[in-house]
Amino acid sequence: MRKIVFQNRIALGKRLLALLICLLFVLSDGSAFVYADGEEELTVQERIAEIQKQIRSQKVGQYGMVPIDGSLIADGEYPIQVESSSPFFRIIEAVLKVQGGEMTADITISSLSYQWVYCGTGEQADADSEANYIGYRDDGGHGVFTVPVEALNKPIPCAAYSKKRKRWYDRDILFVASTLPEGVLHTELPDFEAIETALKAYEVKDIQELASKPHKIPEPVSVPKSDGEYSIEVNMTGGSGRASISSPTLLTVRDGKAYATLIWSSTYYDYMILEEEYYLNLTEDGGPSRFEIPITAMDTPIPVIADTTAMGDPVEIRYELTFYEESIGEKGQIPQEAAKKVLMIAGAIIVFGGILNYFVKKKRAA
Protein backbone atom coordinates (compact mmCIF):
# COMPACT_ATOMS: atom_id res chain seq x y z
CA MET A 1 0.00 0.00 0.00
CA ARG A 2 2.81 2.43 0.91
CA LYS A 3 4.55 1.57 -2.36
CA ILE A 4 1.43 2.58 -4.32
CA VAL A 5 1.18 5.85 -2.38
CA PHE A 6 4.83 6.67 -3.12
CA GLN A 7 4.31 5.90 -6.84
CA ASN A 8 1.23 8.11 -6.94
CA ARG A 9 3.19 10.96 -5.35
CA ILE A 10 5.95 10.59 -7.91
CA ALA A 11 3.43 10.64 -10.78
CA LEU A 12 1.78 13.75 -9.32
CA GLY A 13 5.17 15.44 -8.91
CA LYS A 14 6.03 14.72 -12.55
CA ARG A 15 2.72 16.17 -13.75
CA LEU A 16 3.22 19.32 -11.66
CA LEU A 17 6.75 19.70 -12.97
CA ALA A 18 5.57 19.35 -16.58
CA LEU A 19 2.86 21.95 -15.95
CA LEU A 20 5.36 24.39 -14.47
CA ILE A 21 7.79 23.93 -17.34
CA CYS A 22 4.99 24.70 -19.80
CA LEU A 23 4.08 27.79 -17.76
CA LEU A 24 7.72 28.86 -17.70
CA PHE A 25 7.88 28.54 -21.49
CA VAL A 26 4.82 30.72 -21.91
CA LEU A 27 6.15 33.39 -19.55
CA SER A 28 9.69 33.47 -20.84
CA ASP A 29 9.34 32.89 -24.60
CA GLY A 30 5.72 33.81 -25.09
CA SER A 31 5.48 36.94 -22.96
CA ALA A 32 3.13 39.62 -24.23
CA PHE A 33 4.68 42.30 -26.42
CA VAL A 34 2.88 45.43 -27.54
CA TYR A 35 3.41 46.12 -31.23
CA ALA A 36 3.40 49.55 -32.82
CA ASP A 37 0.81 48.76 -35.50
CA GLY A 38 -1.67 47.01 -33.23
CA GLU A 39 -2.67 46.47 -29.64
CA GLU A 40 -3.23 42.72 -29.69
CA GLU A 41 -0.95 40.43 -27.70
CA LEU A 42 1.10 37.75 -29.43
CA THR A 43 0.52 34.08 -28.81
CA VAL A 44 3.45 31.78 -28.01
CA GLN A 45 3.49 30.51 -31.60
CA GLU A 46 3.45 34.05 -33.02
CA ARG A 47 6.28 35.12 -30.72
CA ILE A 48 8.37 32.13 -31.79
CA ALA A 49 7.71 33.04 -35.44
CA GLU A 50 8.87 36.60 -34.75
CA ILE A 51 12.07 35.36 -33.10
CA GLN A 52 12.75 33.02 -36.02
CA LYS A 53 12.15 35.87 -38.44
CA GLN A 54 14.69 38.02 -36.60
CA ILE A 55 17.21 35.17 -36.63
CA ARG A 56 16.76 34.80 -40.40
CA SER A 57 17.32 38.53 -40.89
CA GLN A 58 20.69 39.10 -39.27
CA LYS A 59 22.81 41.67 -41.03
CA VAL A 60 25.79 40.55 -43.11
CA GLY A 61 28.80 42.68 -43.97
CA GLN A 62 30.29 45.76 -42.34
CA TYR A 63 29.64 49.46 -42.58
CA GLY A 64 31.37 51.09 -45.54
CA MET A 65 31.80 47.95 -47.66
CA VAL A 66 31.86 48.58 -51.43
CA PRO A 67 31.07 45.76 -53.91
CA ILE A 68 34.09 44.26 -55.69
CA ASP A 69 33.48 42.62 -59.06
CA GLY A 70 35.51 39.94 -60.80
CA SER A 71 37.54 42.40 -62.89
CA LEU A 72 39.46 43.32 -59.73
CA ILE A 73 40.41 39.72 -58.91
CA ALA A 74 43.10 37.54 -60.52
CA ASP A 75 41.88 34.43 -62.36
CA GLY A 76 42.04 31.26 -60.29
CA GLU A 77 40.41 29.30 -57.46
CA TYR A 78 40.68 30.55 -53.91
CA PRO A 79 39.29 29.72 -50.46
CA ILE A 80 37.06 32.50 -49.14
CA GLN A 81 34.91 33.09 -46.10
CA VAL A 82 31.18 33.61 -46.57
CA GLU A 83 28.81 35.27 -44.11
CA SER A 84 25.20 34.08 -43.89
CA SER A 85 22.23 35.96 -42.47
CA SER A 86 20.94 32.76 -40.83
CA PRO A 87 22.58 30.28 -38.45
CA PHE A 88 20.39 27.61 -40.09
CA PHE A 89 22.24 28.16 -43.39
CA ARG A 90 25.81 28.04 -42.12
CA ILE A 91 28.49 27.95 -44.81
CA ILE A 92 31.44 25.98 -43.45
CA GLU A 93 33.65 26.18 -46.55
CA ALA A 94 33.71 28.02 -49.86
CA VAL A 95 35.93 28.11 -52.95
CA LEU A 96 35.74 31.15 -55.23
CA LYS A 97 36.40 30.54 -58.94
CA VAL A 98 37.33 33.51 -61.13
CA GLN A 99 37.72 33.39 -64.90
CA GLY A 100 37.83 36.46 -67.14
CA GLY A 101 35.97 38.60 -64.60
CA GLU A 102 33.17 36.05 -64.11
CA MET A 103 32.80 34.49 -60.68
CA THR A 104 31.19 31.36 -59.25
CA ALA A 105 31.67 29.64 -55.92
CA ASP A 106 31.28 26.19 -54.42
CA ILE A 107 29.66 26.75 -51.04
CA THR A 108 29.45 23.93 -48.51
CA ILE A 109 26.75 24.01 -45.85
CA SER A 110 26.80 21.99 -42.65
CA SER A 111 23.98 19.57 -43.54
CA LEU A 112 21.82 18.06 -46.30
CA SER A 113 18.64 19.74 -45.10
CA TYR A 114 18.26 21.95 -48.19
CA GLN A 115 17.30 20.51 -51.57
CA TRP A 116 17.92 23.61 -53.67
CA VAL A 117 19.19 27.17 -53.48
CA TYR A 118 18.06 30.01 -55.71
CA CYS A 119 19.77 33.29 -56.55
CA GLY A 120 16.97 35.60 -55.46
CA THR A 121 14.09 35.57 -53.00
CA GLY A 122 11.81 32.68 -52.15
CA GLU A 123 8.92 34.50 -53.80
CA GLN A 124 10.92 34.77 -57.02
CA ALA A 125 11.87 31.09 -56.78
CA ASP A 126 8.21 30.04 -56.49
CA ALA A 127 7.41 32.00 -59.63
CA ASP A 128 10.41 30.63 -61.57
CA SER A 129 11.09 27.33 -63.29
CA GLU A 130 12.68 24.44 -61.42
CA ALA A 131 15.31 24.41 -64.17
CA ASN A 132 16.78 27.54 -62.57
CA TYR A 133 17.07 25.97 -59.12
CA ILE A 134 20.59 24.98 -58.00
CA GLY A 135 20.90 21.45 -56.65
CA TYR A 136 23.61 20.07 -54.40
CA ARG A 137 26.15 17.31 -54.37
CA ASP A 138 26.69 15.24 -51.25
CA ASP A 139 30.15 15.64 -49.75
CA GLY A 140 30.20 13.36 -46.72
CA GLY A 141 26.90 14.60 -45.33
CA HIS A 142 27.49 18.20 -46.34
CA GLY A 143 25.63 19.88 -49.20
CA VAL A 144 27.79 21.60 -51.83
CA PHE A 145 26.09 24.16 -54.12
CA THR A 146 27.75 25.94 -57.05
CA VAL A 147 26.37 29.47 -57.22
CA PRO A 148 27.10 32.54 -59.37
CA VAL A 149 28.76 35.40 -57.50
CA GLU A 150 27.75 38.88 -58.60
CA ALA A 151 30.31 40.67 -56.41
CA LEU A 152 32.28 40.33 -53.19
CA ASN A 153 31.54 42.48 -50.12
CA LYS A 154 27.90 42.72 -51.21
CA PRO A 155 24.84 40.99 -49.65
CA ILE A 156 23.44 38.54 -52.21
CA PRO A 157 19.86 37.19 -51.87
CA CYS A 158 20.01 33.40 -51.80
CA ALA A 159 16.79 31.51 -51.02
CA ALA A 160 17.12 27.95 -49.66
CA TYR A 161 14.47 25.22 -50.03
CA SER A 162 13.96 23.03 -46.96
CA LYS A 163 13.43 19.33 -47.66
CA LYS A 164 11.55 18.83 -44.41
CA ARG A 165 9.26 21.86 -44.45
CA LYS A 166 8.79 22.02 -48.24
CA ARG A 167 9.24 25.78 -48.45
CA TRP A 168 11.74 28.48 -49.38
CA TYR A 169 13.61 30.51 -46.75
CA ASP A 170 15.10 33.88 -47.65
CA ARG A 171 18.79 34.28 -46.80
CA ASP A 172 21.53 36.79 -47.57
CA ILE A 173 25.10 35.67 -48.13
CA LEU A 174 28.22 37.81 -48.49
CA PHE A 175 31.63 36.76 -49.82
CA VAL A 176 34.27 38.56 -47.73
CA ALA A 177 36.98 39.96 -50.01
CA SER A 178 39.49 40.50 -47.20
CA THR A 179 39.68 36.72 -46.61
CA LEU A 180 41.14 36.00 -50.06
CA PRO A 181 44.83 35.02 -50.23
CA GLU A 182 47.30 37.89 -50.36
CA GLY A 183 48.01 39.29 -53.83
CA VAL A 184 44.74 38.08 -55.41
CA LEU A 185 42.94 41.43 -55.27
CA HIS A 186 43.96 44.19 -57.67
CA THR A 187 42.79 46.83 -55.22
CA GLU A 188 43.32 47.80 -51.59
CA LEU A 189 40.60 47.39 -49.01
CA PRO A 190 39.90 49.83 -46.18
CA ASP A 191 40.17 48.69 -42.57
CA PHE A 192 36.48 48.02 -41.89
CA GLU A 193 37.06 47.19 -38.22
CA ALA A 194 38.70 50.58 -37.69
CA ILE A 195 35.86 52.31 -39.56
CA GLU A 196 33.19 50.67 -37.38
CA THR A 197 35.11 51.41 -34.17
CA ALA A 198 35.57 55.05 -35.15
CA LEU A 199 31.93 55.35 -36.25
CA LYS A 200 30.61 53.97 -32.96
CA ALA A 201 32.93 56.22 -30.96
CA TYR A 202 31.82 59.24 -33.00
CA GLU A 203 28.13 58.42 -32.58
CA VAL A 204 28.45 58.05 -28.80
CA LYS A 205 30.46 61.26 -28.55
CA ASP A 206 27.94 63.10 -30.74
CA ILE A 207 25.01 61.91 -28.62
CA GLN A 208 26.76 62.82 -25.38
CA GLU A 209 27.56 66.30 -26.71
CA LEU A 210 23.94 66.85 -27.69
CA ALA A 211 22.74 65.60 -24.32
CA SER A 212 25.13 67.93 -22.46
CA LYS A 213 23.82 71.10 -24.13
CA PRO A 214 21.48 73.27 -22.04
CA HIS A 215 17.92 72.02 -22.41
CA LYS A 216 14.77 71.35 -20.47
CA ILE A 217 14.83 68.05 -18.54
CA PRO A 218 11.57 66.07 -18.82
CA GLU A 219 9.61 66.16 -15.55
CA PRO A 220 8.19 62.79 -14.41
CA VAL A 221 4.64 62.74 -13.07
CA SER A 222 3.87 62.07 -9.41
CA VAL A 223 2.11 58.82 -8.50
CA PRO A 224 0.32 57.90 -5.25
CA LYS A 225 2.73 55.07 -4.51
CA SER A 226 5.55 54.54 -2.03
CA ASP A 227 9.05 54.55 -3.46
CA GLY A 228 9.82 51.14 -4.93
CA GLU A 229 9.32 48.93 -7.99
CA TYR A 230 5.96 48.10 -9.60
CA SER A 231 4.55 47.03 -12.96
CA ILE A 232 2.60 49.16 -15.44
CA GLU A 233 0.89 48.53 -18.78
CA VAL A 234 2.25 50.48 -21.75
CA ASN A 235 1.01 50.75 -25.33
CA MET A 236 3.15 51.86 -28.28
CA THR A 237 2.04 53.26 -31.64
CA GLY A 238 3.98 54.56 -34.62
CA GLY A 239 6.93 53.20 -36.59
CA SER A 240 6.69 50.31 -39.02
CA GLY A 241 5.17 47.81 -36.58
CA ARG A 242 8.22 45.53 -36.62
CA ALA A 243 9.58 46.63 -33.25
CA SER A 244 7.86 46.07 -29.93
CA ILE A 245 8.27 46.76 -26.23
CA SER A 246 7.47 44.46 -23.35
CA SER A 247 4.24 45.11 -21.46
CA PRO A 248 3.65 45.27 -18.57
CA THR A 249 6.99 46.87 -17.90
CA LEU A 250 8.94 47.95 -14.81
CA LEU A 251 7.75 51.09 -13.05
CA THR A 252 10.20 52.62 -10.57
CA VAL A 253 8.96 55.26 -8.12
CA ARG A 254 11.68 57.55 -6.75
CA ASP A 255 10.78 60.53 -4.53
CA GLY A 256 7.17 59.97 -5.58
CA LYS A 257 8.02 60.34 -9.28
CA ALA A 258 7.43 57.71 -12.01
CA TYR A 259 10.12 56.19 -14.24
CA ALA A 260 9.66 53.34 -16.74
CA THR A 261 12.18 50.73 -17.92
CA LEU A 262 11.45 49.89 -21.56
CA ILE A 263 12.65 46.57 -23.01
CA TRP A 264 12.60 46.39 -26.81
CA SER A 265 12.25 43.27 -28.93
CA SER A 266 15.36 44.39 -30.87
CA THR A 267 19.02 44.75 -29.94
CA TYR A 268 19.59 47.58 -32.42
CA TYR A 269 18.19 50.60 -30.56
CA ASP A 270 21.07 52.75 -29.30
CA TYR A 271 19.33 55.85 -27.92
CA MET A 272 15.93 57.40 -27.29
CA ILE A 273 14.85 61.05 -27.18
CA LEU A 274 12.11 62.35 -24.89
CA GLU A 275 11.42 66.04 -25.38
CA GLU A 276 15.04 67.27 -25.68
CA GLU A 277 16.73 64.70 -23.46
CA TYR A 278 18.78 61.77 -24.80
CA TYR A 279 18.68 58.36 -23.09
CA LEU A 280 21.34 55.75 -23.94
CA ASN A 281 20.84 52.00 -24.18
CA LEU A 282 21.54 50.43 -20.77
CA THR A 283 22.17 46.92 -22.14
CA GLU A 284 25.86 46.06 -22.44
CA ASP A 285 25.77 42.28 -23.04
CA GLY A 286 24.23 42.29 -26.51
CA GLY A 287 20.70 41.57 -25.25
CA PRO A 288 17.48 43.48 -26.07
CA SER A 289 17.83 47.26 -25.93
CA ARG A 290 16.75 48.68 -22.56
CA PHE A 291 16.09 52.27 -21.51
CA GLU A 292 14.88 54.03 -18.37
CA ILE A 293 12.86 57.14 -19.12
CA PRO A 294 10.64 59.41 -16.99
CA ILE A 295 6.89 59.02 -17.44
CA THR A 296 5.82 62.58 -18.17
CA ALA A 297 2.08 61.84 -18.40
CA MET A 298 -0.38 59.09 -17.54
CA ASP A 299 -3.15 57.89 -19.86
CA THR A 300 -1.92 60.31 -22.55
CA PRO A 301 0.31 59.49 -25.57
CA ILE A 302 3.91 60.62 -25.00
CA PRO A 303 5.90 61.32 -28.20
CA VAL A 304 9.40 59.80 -28.26
CA ILE A 305 12.10 59.12 -30.83
CA ALA A 306 14.12 55.90 -30.93
CA ASP A 307 17.24 55.45 -33.05
CA THR A 308 17.87 52.04 -34.63
CA THR A 309 20.79 50.63 -36.63
CA ALA A 310 18.88 47.52 -37.75
CA MET A 311 18.85 48.76 -41.36
CA GLY A 312 22.56 49.62 -41.46
CA ASP A 313 22.69 53.40 -41.23
CA PRO A 314 21.17 54.90 -38.06
CA VAL A 315 17.49 55.84 -38.46
CA GLU A 316 15.43 57.85 -35.97
CA ILE A 317 11.83 56.59 -35.71
CA ARG A 318 8.94 58.38 -34.02
CA TYR A 319 6.67 56.53 -31.58
CA GLU A 320 4.03 57.36 -29.00
CA LEU A 321 3.90 55.65 -25.60
CA THR A 322 0.83 55.54 -23.38
CA PHE A 323 1.16 54.44 -19.75
CA TYR A 324 -2.04 53.44 -17.92
CA GLU A 325 -2.15 54.56 -14.29
CA GLU A 326 -4.96 52.16 -13.31
CA SER A 327 -2.79 49.22 -14.43
CA ILE A 328 -0.08 49.83 -11.82
CA GLY A 329 0.43 46.58 -9.94
CA GLU A 330 2.94 44.34 -8.26
CA LYS A 331 6.38 43.91 -9.81
CA GLY A 332 5.73 40.17 -10.08
CA GLN A 333 3.25 40.82 -12.92
CA ILE A 334 6.14 41.64 -15.26
CA PRO A 335 6.73 38.57 -17.51
CA GLN A 336 10.45 38.43 -16.72
CA GLU A 337 9.81 38.52 -12.96
CA ALA A 338 7.07 35.88 -13.21
CA ALA A 339 9.44 33.64 -15.14
CA LYS A 340 12.03 33.94 -12.36
CA LYS A 341 9.48 32.83 -9.77
CA VAL A 342 8.45 29.84 -11.88
CA LEU A 343 12.11 28.87 -12.24
CA MET A 344 12.52 28.91 -8.48
CA ILE A 345 9.36 26.84 -7.96
CA ALA A 346 10.40 24.39 -10.68
CA GLY A 347 13.83 24.07 -9.09
CA ALA A 348 12.28 23.37 -5.71
CA ILE A 349 10.03 20.69 -7.20
CA ILE A 350 12.97 19.07 -8.97
CA VAL A 351 14.88 18.94 -5.68
CA PHE A 352 11.81 17.58 -3.87
CA GLY A 353 11.32 14.99 -6.59
CA GLY A 354 14.93 13.90 -6.30
CA ILE A 355 14.66 13.49 -2.52
CA LEU A 356 11.37 11.61 -2.89
CA ASN A 357 12.88 9.33 -5.51
CA TYR A 358 15.84 8.64 -3.22
CA PHE A 359 13.60 7.49 -0.39
CA VAL A 360 11.49 5.38 -2.77
CA LYS A 361 14.58 3.60 -4.02
CA LYS A 362 15.81 3.16 -0.44
CA LYS A 363 12.45 1.71 0.57
CA ARG A 364 12.51 -0.74 -2.33
CA ALA A 365 16.05 -1.82 -1.47
CA ALA A 366 14.97 -2.52 2.09
What is the C-alpha to C-alpha distance for residues 267 and 286, in angstroms, rounded to an integer? 7
Q: What's the pTM?
A: 0.45
What is the C-alpha to C-alpha distance for residues 43 and 262, in angstroms, rounded to an integer? 21
The ranges of the chain with pLDDT < 50 are: 1-12, 14, 16, 18-19, 21-32, 37-57, 338-340, 342
User: What pLDDT, on the 0 to 100 scale, is given for residue 294?
Assistant: 96
User: What pLDDT, on the 0 to 100 scale, is given for residue 207?
Assistant: 60
User: What pLDDT, on the 0 to 100 scale, is given for residue 206?
Assistant: 59
3-class state of residue 219 by DSSP:
coil
In the chain, which residue ranges form alpha helices assigned H by DSSP?
2-29, 44-56, 122-127, 192-212, 335-365
What is the C-alpha to C-alpha distance for residues 240 and 181, in angstroms, rounded to an integer? 43
Quick one: how far is CA 111 from the chain centroid?
Answer: 24
What is the C-alpha to C-alpha distance for residues 289 and 298, in angstroms, rounded to an integer? 23
User: What pLDDT, on the 0 to 100 scale, is given for residue 5?
Assistant: 41
Q: What does each C-alpha distance from 9 to 4, 191, 266, 342, 353 come to in angstroms? A: 9, 65, 44, 21, 9
Please answer whether residues 186 and 93 qualify as being in contact, where contact means their C-beta atoms are separated by less than 8 angstroms: no
Please answer whether residues 70 and 98 qualify as being in contact, where contact means their C-beta atoms are separated by less than 8 angstroms: yes
Other C-beta atoms lying within 10 Å of the C-beta of residue 103: 21
Radius of gyration for the alpha carbons in the chain, expressed in angstroms and rounded: 27
Other C-beta atoms lying within 10 Å of the C-beta of residue 297: 15
